[in-house]
Amino acid sequence: MHEVNRRPLLIEVGSDDLPARFLPLERRHLAERLPALLDELGLAHGAVTVWATPRRLAARVEGVAERQPDREVTVKGPPVRIAFDDDGGPTRAAEGFARKNGVAVADCTRLELDGTEYLAVRRQEKGRSLAELLAEHLPPLLLGIPFPKTMRWGDGDLLYARPLQWLVVLHGSEVLPVRLGDLAADRLSRGHRTLADDAVFPVPDPDAYSGLLAEHGVMVDQEQRRDRIRDDLVAAAVAAGGRWREDAGLLDEVVDLCEHPTVFAGRIEERFFALPAEVIVTAMRSHQRYFAVTGDDGRLLPVFLAVRDGDTTALENVIRGNERVLRARLSDALFYWDVDRKRTPDDHTARLADVTWLEGFGSVLDKVRRVEALVRWLWERGAGGDGPLPAALARAAAICKFDLVTEMIRDGKEFTKLEGVIAARYAEQAGEDPAVCRLLEEYHRPRHAGDALPGDPAARVLALADRLDTLAGCWLAGFVPSGTKDPYALRRHMLAVQRMLLADDVRLDLDAALARAVEPFAGGPVSPEEAAAAAAALREFARARLEGLLQQEGLDQAVVRAVLPAHGADPADARRWGEALAAYREDPDFQLLATGFKRCRNILEGKTLSAAAARDCLDRWLAGGRTVEGEPLADLPEPAERELVAAVAAAAPDLAAAEREGDYQGIFHSLAALGPAIDRFFNAVRVNVDDPDLRRRRHGLLREIHGLFARFADLAQVAPLDQPPGK
């Protein structure tokens, strides 16, 4: 087999400027799919490097083979018993197969598959060329980038994020015949739009690509742009007497907004420092993509840093223009600040009565009043701490949404993300207790998946109340998440509730809390029956979120599914039980525990107690060991069943004590200790006897024992091997 020629491959797709948020998508797509495509096509290749700027997506692949290797393929034909007649002569099936493959029947071989012998042909298949394969497979790959939005232009049907302008595909110095719609690949790339006057220049081969782009004003490697911007931000901040306020998200965006970054500094007028620092930073960041500069004390300096896509030519004009734009935005913010402070938080809160929360579900003021009541309910159940409801929490709950009607949030579109922060700053100006101000800001956490949780128990209770009310109201209003649609982020709200409870190991009956959150809507916008159905659906919704969350915390899926039926209402308790069961699975007695549970379950054939009845099993055994039918068990006829009743009755006080003390391992040990008595019962007692009364009483006994186990965990989930069903 001859050595296949391998040369570097260069692909560049040029387009009109793409939004910065699109670039990570296309880089990731090409970095994953291009090597996978080459592997799938059997084309040897080396490392793949992907670059993207607003105007171009490029990839360089080292050492790509110019064609697939030749290979021997075996073509399967008809079974030999069909290919030849009784005299050994070829049938029409054999002749047709040989003719189709261009050989004589005598040249065919035999192939055995799964005990059957087939006629076969072995032949050499010549590998296809890289040029031919990329012409066929590269366009779908490039046009398959999952952009959030695509567009058509001109008269064509081609879909891409922006109109395509040029295409370069080079294998070494050879142009490959790839087309994207009417756009044919060549070797002509383009330089920076302004620094090189959008010059068109030829790329002789992949090795010359990045150097030629640099000569034409383009820094194609995003990591080089990032390093340049970061270094220049540091230097510019030091020159201004401070340090740049690091912002990873903004840096990512700016890197993808330019092809030739140049950092510059501008000034902020002193009068704007009457505004909260968060407002100034947001005004700079949100639309202008400016970086803040702070002094050694962490306070903002009257300087901003920005990145220009170009060089230093006429930079003074650029600085003046950016200062003018920022001045206009901060002037608007200062106007909002002055107007809003003329009203007190209570004045703003009263105006919430005129703001609809959800159509048909009252105003935002109605929501505030529901949150107030739910805060008290949660506090009384220990979600925040002991003692009376703190005055600061009561006050914060009463005004928790007042900033929604402030000019800053309502009209200052870029400041909506400061909800809570703005409330805290206005409350400070109005002379509210600092504890109230802190709660107004903190209860909005977590704002996103990686955000910190509320650090204060009172803030946690306010956050729980607000999110539970949102879950209840939005669910009842019909905004139930489905597929990728979740317009009110109810999945995120539920996860935030559970994360808060788990983070601080807060014991709370979340089922009861959800039912309490739904309660105010019953008899109003919805019927009591609809409210009850919504509460049940929310419970299942919560279980699904909790199952994933506990697995993220390291619990095995089977363990999580075992404990959720009994303890899913209390996320922190479910985690404790999961950890205890996971540890007990390593105990030698675990099989006794699992076997006893499953033998009872199997013979009952699904006719087990309801979840509510199972929760009451321990109380019934403590009260005298009666079956669910209410008949005494002591006079059962067989010694083995009376012994089992006695063993369970004796274990009940130990189980109750272990449960009170939180001794989960003790509970599992006590249940496992019942294993021998359960085994003796099944070995000596025939459950399904002809006497219907005795059969009913024995089934009742097993239901009560199974329910006692199920009160603590569904052990079938962690002991999947079926046990003998008994007799």
Q: Are 376 and 465 in contact (CB under 8 A)?
A: no
Query: How many Å apart are CA 420 and CA 398, to the nearest integer?
Result: 14
**By C-alpha distance, which of 152, 151, 202, 153 is closest to 12?**
202
Q: What is the pLDDT of residues 520-533, one digit of tens each?
A: 999 888 999 999 99
Query: What is the pLDDT at residue 721?
Result: 45
Long-range CB contact pairs, 102-109, < 8 A, 24+: 108/77
Count the Cβ atoms, other than its own, within 10 Å of residue 421: 22
Burial label for 546, CB within 10 Å (0-12, 13-18, 19+), is: buried
Reference 272, options 280, 284, 281; nearest CA is 280
From residue 278, alpha-carbon distances to 1, 116, 290, 307, 414 in Å are 68, 77, 13, 21, 12
Residues 6+ apart with CB under 8 A from 339: 407
Sign of the dihedral defined by the CA atoms of residues 546, 548, 554, 557, in that order: positive
Q: Give the lowest-confidence range in 26-30, 279-283, 611-615.
A: 611-615
Beta bridge partners of residue 261, listed in sequence order: 309
pLDDT for position 449: 80
Answer whether the bond into residue 639 is a cis peptide, omega within 30°: no
What number is the average pLDDT over the span 353-376? 96
Assigned token pair, 352 = 């919430």
pLDDT(726) > 60: no
Return d(Cα 424, Cα 403) in angstroms, integer. Answer: 9
The alpha carbons of the chain give a radius of gyration, in whole angstroms, of 36
With contact defined as beta carbons under 8 Å apart, do 412 and 332 qualify? yes
Identify the bridge partners of residue 76 per DSSP, sorted by sequence position: 120
Is residue 176 within 8 Å of residue 169, measured between CB atoms?
Answer: yes
Between residues 363 and 722, which one has the greater pLDDT? 363
Handedness of CA 693, 699, 704, 707 (dihedral sign): negative
Identify whether the C-beta of residue 172 lies closer than 8 Å to the C-beta of residue 50: no
Calculate what percentage of the chain has a pLDDT beyond 70: 96
What does the alpha-carbon distance between residue 597 and residue 614 come to, in Å, rounded to a whole number?
Answer: 13
Q: How confident is the model at residue 355 (pLDDT cuts 50, 70, 90)?
A: very high
Task: List the Cα angle 652/694/622 in 5-degree steps.
Answer: 15
Residue 629 scores a pLDDT above 70: no
Query: Domain 6-68+129-215's class?
Result: alpha beta
Q: Which of 726, 622, 642 is closest to 683 using CA atoms?
A: 726
Q: What's the pLDDT score for residue 628?
A: 45
The three-state (H, E, C) secondary structure of 465-487, written as one string: HHHHHHHHHHHHCCCCCECCECC
pTM score: 0.82
- Structure tokens belonging to residue 474: 């939005």
pLDDT band at 722 (very low <50, low <70, confident <90, very high): very low
Report residue 624's pLDDT band, with 50, 70 and 90 as the boundaries.
low
3-class DSSP state of 232: helix
User: Could you tell me the two tokens for 81?
Assistant: 């018993």
* DSSP string over 80-142: HHHHB-TTS-B-HHHHHHHHHTTS-GGG-EEEEETTEEEEEEEEEEPPPBHHHHHHHHHHHHH
Amino acid at 296: D
CA–CA separation, 105 and 90 (whole Å): 7
Structure tokens at 487: 């317009």
Q: Where are the domains of the chain?
A: 6-68+129-215, 71-125, 222-340, 345-553, 580-717
Read off the tokens for 579: 């950890």
CA distance 630 to 622: 14
pLDDT higher than 70, residue 170: yes
Q: Would you state the pLDDT for residue 228?
A: 97
Q: Say if residue 723's pLDDT is above 60.
A: no
Residue 562, burial from CB neighbour count under 10 angstroms (0-12, 13-18, 19+): buried
pLDDT of residue 371 exceeding 90: yes
Q: Are 410 and 540 in contact (CB under 8 A)?
A: no
520, 559, 519, 523: which is closest to 535 by C-alpha? 519
Decide if pLDDT at 64 tops 90. Answer: yes
Q: For residue 178, which of 166, 191, 193, 196 has the smallest C-alpha distance?
A: 166
Within 13 A of 335's CA, how many CA atoms are on the CB side?
A: 9
pLDDT at 137: 96
Of 156-165, 620-629, 633-642, 674-683, give the range with the top mean pLDDT.
156-165
pLDDT bin (cut points 50, 70, 90) of residue 604 is confident
Give the chain's length: 727
Residues 665-674 as b or e (16 or more Cβ within 10 Å = b):
ebbbbbbbbb
Which residue in 692, 708, 715 sits closest to 654, CA to CA? 708
Report residue 630's pLDDT band, with 50, 70 and 90 as the boundaries: low
Question: For residue 488, is pLDDT > 80?
Answer: yes
* Tokens linked to 416: 């909506």
Structural element, H or E, at residue 523:
none
- Calpha distance 36→31 (Å, rounded): 9
Cα gap 632→614, rounded to integer Å: 18
Q: Could you give the CA distance from residue 379 to residue 393 in angstroms, rounded to a whole number?
A: 10
User: Considering all CA atoms of the chain, what is the largest pairwise distance in Å, rounded to the nearest integer?
Assistant: 108
Q: What is the pLDDT of residues 306-353, one digit of tens each?
A: 999 999 999 999 999 999 999 999 999 999 999 999 999 999 999 999
Q: What percentage of the chain reaches a pLDDT higher than 90? A: 69
Q: What is the pLDDT of residue 518?
A: 96
Distances (CA, A) of 84 to 79, 80, 109, 702: 9, 6, 13, 66
Question: What value does the mean pLDDT of the chain take?
Answer: 90
Query: Scanning the structure block, which residue is given the tokens 């002193």?
Result: 270
Model confidence band, residue 631 (pLDDT cutoffs 50, 70, 90) = low
Question: What is the reported pLDDT for 14?
Answer: 97
CB 278 within 8 A of CB 292: no
Predicted local distance difference test score (pLDDT) of residue 4: 61
User: How does strand 6-15 pair with strand 164-171?
Assistant: antiparallel
Dihedral sign from CA coordinates of 21, 23, 28, 34: positive
In the predicted structure, residue 3 carries a pLDDT above the cut 70? no
711/209: higher pLDDT: 209
Q: What are the E-state strand segments in 523-603?
A: none
Q: What is the mean predicted confidence (pLDDT) over 106-115?
A: 89
Structure tokens at 485: 């649609």
Residue range 71-99, pLDDT digits in tens:
888 899 999 999 999 888 999 999 999 99
Which contiguous run of DSSP H or E holds residue 53?
Answer: strand 48-53
Q: How far, in Å, CA of 558 to CA of 716, rounded?
A: 9
Which two three-digit tokens encode residue 706?
Answer: 């199974």
